[in-house]
Amino acid sequence: PEKAEPTDDVHANSSRLSSITQDFLTNLCSTPEAFPQKFRQVLSAVNKEVLLKYSAEELPAIVGSLLFLRFIVPSIICPQNYGFEENPSQRSVVLVSKLIQNVVNGVEFDGSKESYMTGLNSFVTSNTPLVKSFVEALTNDTTALKGQ
């Protein structure tokens, strides 16, 4: 709303943001096997190291944050840096990225910064298990770094 035009329909924009992000997450999370084997092995090794300091319950959020914050979200925000076509709507990709990061972290919007995002809290809670399962599928690679 702070950046919305007076004629913008905030509810429609929120619905569109939710739909786009849902499509992205559904497609991404349905294909963990599409990730390169070496990348999955590294994530599995990270998972193993993180388990030395944190509980198994915290693993998907910690490893997921690494995966999404360092690899997936940057490719959404700056696709041209990864060989993809540049997106004409930077504001949209930033909002998609914020929503995805909250899903990965399992943290609802509290309204202190962007009150209009609190309307997407049900999206966050309903998609957190999907992302958690995805991260677990990526990190439970039985071939990860054999011999170590």
What pLDDT is recorded for position 79? 77
- The answer, as to whether pTM is greater than 0.75, is yes
Nearest-angstrom CA–CA distance, 18 and 16:
5
Q: What is the pLDDT of residues 17-75, one digit of tens each?
A: 999 999 999 999 999 999 999 999 999 999 999 999 999 889 889 999 999 999 999 98
Q: Kindly write down the DSSP assignment for every residue of 94-136, as one continuous string.
A: HHHHHHHHHHHHT----SSS-GGGGGGHHHHHHHHHHHHHHHH
Contact indicator for 140, 116 with CB cutoff of 8 Å: no
What pLDDT is recorded for position 108? 95
Q: pLDDT confidence of 8, banded at 50, 70, 90? A: low
What pLDDT is recorded for position 142? 54
Contact indicator for 64, 104 with CB cutoff of 8 Å: yes
Asked whether the predicted pLDDT for residue 145 surpasses 50, the reply is no
SS3 71: helix
Nearest-angstrom CA–CA distance, 59 and 47:
7
What pLDDT is recorded for position 91? 82
What pLDDT is recorded for position 3? 57
